[in-house]
Chains A and B, each alone.
Chain A
Amino acid sequence: MQQEFSRSFDQLNDIVAFTEQVFTDQGIDPSTRYVVDLCVEELFVNMVTYDTETDRDILIEMNACPGGVEVSLTDYGVERFDPRNAGTVDVDAPLEQRTPGGLGLFLVLKMVDSIHYEYRDRNSKITFVARSKEETEEHNVSD
């Protein structure tokens, strides 16, 4: 399933409703829901905040995959930005050295099971997979 969303934080409620619909229609394990909600928001907000050279809608695609759910966000007519290269956050730093910001992509990279990036014809597409806890544990055991 797919849907386009305009470039506004006000769209977050509609994105949650879309996600709810996909999970219901495709019988996706709800244990992945928090990860999907968080990662979709962080990636969407990042695109809206930093890809300011375009006013085109952002496409979100979401489908069940073996053991979980695969989600893609595509931003059209923008510069390349590979979230896998986002800076890390020192989560052990003391309070005086911590600053608000920078946690979004850090959490995405921490929480997804895999993430892929494509950049073609100025279109930026990020795809991630979130697996249910049981699947992740089985993968970890088999690794």
Chain B
Amino acid sequence: MFQIDFSDQGVIAVEGRLDAAQAPRAQEFLDQVDGPCVLDLYKLEYVSSAGLGVLLRTHKRLMGTGDGLKLINVNHHINDIFTYSGFDKLFEIEVAER
């Protein structure tokens, strides 16, 4: 199951598995977002290259206006994927304390 929506704190909460089947839905949601944007990935269990593409595309669009995506509460599996992909050099990332 995959979910993406604004949380009470105004950040965007992403849950479940962000795979190739769900990437279009995530992209459609994030295409509506403007300004600085924080993604809370605490409940994101899995991301594949399709999901990474969504994050990169959105980050590049937002950086065009000087903003960008910040990724918080990233679990260690997903942080490994970010590191292998070089995303640790492109995004501001906060790893989850657990």
Chain B: residues with Cβ within 8 Å of the partner, total of 23
Q: Contacts A107-B85, A111-B84: A9 and B20 contacting too (C-beta < 8 A)? A: yes
B18-50 toward A: CB 8 Å interface, digit per residue (1/0)?
A: 011100000000000000000000000010111
Asked if residues B20 and A91 are in contact (CB atoms below 8 Å), the reply is no
Asked if residues A38 and B48 are in contact (CB atoms below 8 Å), the reply is yes
Judge if A4 is at the interface, Cβ distance under 8 Å: no
Nearest-Cβ distance from residue A30 to partner chain B, whole angstroms: 11
Residues of B within 8 A of A10 (CB): 21
Q: Contacts A38-B48, A41-B19: A98 and B84 contacting too (C-beta < 8 A)? A: no
Nearest-Cβ distance from residue A83 to partner chain B, whole angstroms: 13
A39-73 toward B: CB 8 Å interface, digit per residue (1/0)?
A: 00110010000000000000000000000000000
Chain A: residues with Cβ within 8 Å of the partner, total of 28
Residues of B within 8 A of A103 (CB): 49, 52-53, 85
* 26 CB-based A-B contacts, threshold 8 Å: A9-B20, A37-B46, A38-B46, A38-B48, A38-B81, A41-B19, A41-B20, A41-B48, A45-B20, A45-B50, A91-B85, A91-B86, A92-B86, A98-B86, A98-B90, A99-B56, A100-B57, A101-B49, A101-B53, A103-B52, A104-B49, A104-B50, A106-B85, A107-B81, A107-B85, A110-B84
A-to-B contact residues, CB < 8 Å: 9-10, 12-13, 16, 34, 37-38, 41-42, 45, 89-93, 95-96, 98-101, 103-104, 106-107, 110-111
